[in-house]
Amino acid sequence: MLEIIPHGTKIDFIGKWRVCMTASALLILLGVLAIPVRGFRLGLDFSGGTEVQVRFGGDQPVGEGPIRDAVSGLGIQEPSVVRYGPEGAREFLIRFRDGLDETKADRLEPMRQALAKLGSVEIERAEYVGPKVGAELRRAGLYSLGLAFLLILVYVGFRFSPRFAPGAVIALVHDVLTTCAIWILLGLEFDLQVVAALLTIIGYSINDTIVIYDRIRETMELHTKVDLAEVINRSVNQTLSRTILTSGATLLSVLALLTVPAVRPFALAMVFGMISGVYSTVYIASAILLLLEKRAAARRGGTTQGSGAARRGGGKSKTARA
């Protein structure tokens, strides 16, 4: 495997866990404190509203700004306009909170007339999301996140040992909370795209954690007299090339999606979550594993060496070396 980090690199990652945990806690706290100031903004998927897809004909240039101004002229507050496709595409998605339900469907015609001043236009579809549906979607999103955490807790506990599982799940909760904190601080809206990104982040982050957990368990078996903190550092350093290559390649792909307005919220949340996921594998998941092993060793009156931890970690890993 290609290694961009020289063999034998010895970076003391685990030694910085206290500083990193404090920084994470401060970021999450800032996000909570920012809610009264920035607000916890819910998208139309959760709060209810109208989504109208329009297509312009002809050759006259059309942009998001003029469309937004035309819709705002109808008394609609804070409409969102997103272009479908690359720059120059003539299809747009207009979203706003003033619901065009059956009793307000006649509002579509004034909108079409206002947009017709920018060029020939066709309304391809109009969908209304009521508050009740939005509340159900909110509950479904929260249930999905909770179920993902629970299943991962069971899987990691079965795959390794019960002492490995809490660190993995707390790291995933950390990734979700830090992404949400940044989202709140930036004043961005939470919608179904963001929920989808959070679920994807959970899956991506646990994959990186499993790889390093596997290496930790392997190193425990090979170095039975080495302190667990040293085992974790060795394991992280040995998988560092793999982490940089796989995470870097994935991050470049997600960064490319930022150029597509229709999926930009998903891509942006993924960028934050992926960075947090790599960070939390070392400074949250591995650090909590170390703390739990120290507590267990203190009860036994021993030390956190690889031998005892390896026995608790289960059999030899079958995962290929990264």
Domain locations in the chain as residue ranges: 14-40+133-312, 49-129
pLDDT score, position 321 = 39
Q: Give the strands of the sheet with 91-96, arranged side by side.
A: 80-84, 91-96, 49-56, 121-129
pLDDT score, position 240 = 84
pLDDT score, position 178 = 95
Single out the residue of 91, 94, 157 nearest to residue 289, CA to CA: 157
Q: What angle do CA 283, 309, 307 make, to 5 degrees?
A: 125
pLDDT score, position 31 = 93
pLDDT score, position 281 = 87
pLDDT score, position 262 = 78
- Pair of tokens at residue 18: 């206290």
pLDDT score, position 175 = 93
pLDDT score, position 140 = 86
Residues 6+ apart with CB under 8 A from 263: 193, 257
Single out the residue of 259, 304, 225 nearest to residue 85, CA to CA: 259
User: How far apart are the C-alpha atoms of 286 and 170, rounded to whole Å?
Assistant: 11
* Residues linked to residue 305 through DSSP beta bridges, in sequence order: 227
- Pair of tokens at residue 284: 């949250």
Residue 309 burial (10 A CB sphere; 0-12, 13-18, 19+): buried
What residue ranges of the chain have pLDDT lower than 70? Answer: 1-6, 86, 98-107, 131, 224, 301-322
Single out the residue of 283, 256, 277, 280 nearest to residue 268, CA to CA: 256
Q: What angle do CA 130, 132, 135 make, to 5 degrees?
A: 110
The answer to whether domain 14-40+133-312 and domain 49-129 are alike in fold is no
Residues 6+ apart with CB under 8 A from 320: none
The single residue listed with the structure tokens 């660190």 is 167
Q: In terms of DSSP H, where are the helices of the chain? A: 17-38, 44-47, 64-72, 108-116, 131-159, 165-185, 192-222, 228-238, 240-257, 264-280, 287-300, 306-312
The single residue listed with the structure tokens 């009521």 is 130
pTM over 0.85: no
CATH code of domain 14-40+133-312: 1.20.1640.10
Question: What mean pLDDT, rounded, does the chain reach?
Answer: 81
Q: Is domain 49-129 given the CATH code 1.10.10.10 in the classification?
A: no
pLDDT score, position 227 = 83
> Rg of the chain over CA atoms, in angstroms?
25
Q: Are 95 and 79 in contact (CB under 8 A)?
A: yes
